[in-house]
């Protein structure tokens, strides 16, 4: 079945540093999504990407939908302690089920 490879698995950075994480797939997607999950909570939508090549920002977050439609990256600039959490990419399938395929997650820790 379809799989998403998300990297890195974890990151431990200094406050103020920029962060980059990415997802690649063996299949193409119509939509790429990035979510953040805090411990004991459900994922919260950060950015949604709908077109190949699209670059979208949400505050300090920037994400891009790869031209091949098989990859996406998320950048966080000037990280702050509240950025701590697990970030998941998700690709939405092409069929009418609208199911999401999730990456394995990137655990981000920020040192104050």
Assigned token pair, 63: 């994400």
Nearer to other proteins among residue 49 and residue 110 (C-beta): 49
Q: Are 72 and 63 in contact (CB under 8 A)?
A: yes
Cβ count near 85 (within 10 Å): 20
Per-residue mark of binding to other proteins, 76-105 (x: CB under 8 A): ------------x---x----xxxx-xxxx
19-27, 29-37, 53-61, 63-71 -> range binding other proteins (CB under 8 A): 29-37
Whole-number Å distance between alpha carbons of 75 and 67: 17
Residues that bind other proteins (CB under 8 A): 31, 33, 35, 40-45, 48, 50, 88, 92, 97-100, 102-105
């Amino acid at each position: 079945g379809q799989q998403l490879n998300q990297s890195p698995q974890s990151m431990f950075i200094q406050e103020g540093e920029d962060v980059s994480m990415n997802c690649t797939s063996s299949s193409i997607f119509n939509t790429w999504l990035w979510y953040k999950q805090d411990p004991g909570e459900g994922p919260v939508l950060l950015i949604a990407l709908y077109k190949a090549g699209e670059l979208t920002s949400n505050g300090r977050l920037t994400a891009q939908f790869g031209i091949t439609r098989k990859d996406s990256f998320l950048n966080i600039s000037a990280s702050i302690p509240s950025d701590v959490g697990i970030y998941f990419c998700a690709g939405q399938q092409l069929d009418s089920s609208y199911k999401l395929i999730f990456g394995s997650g990137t655990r981000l820790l920020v040192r104050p």
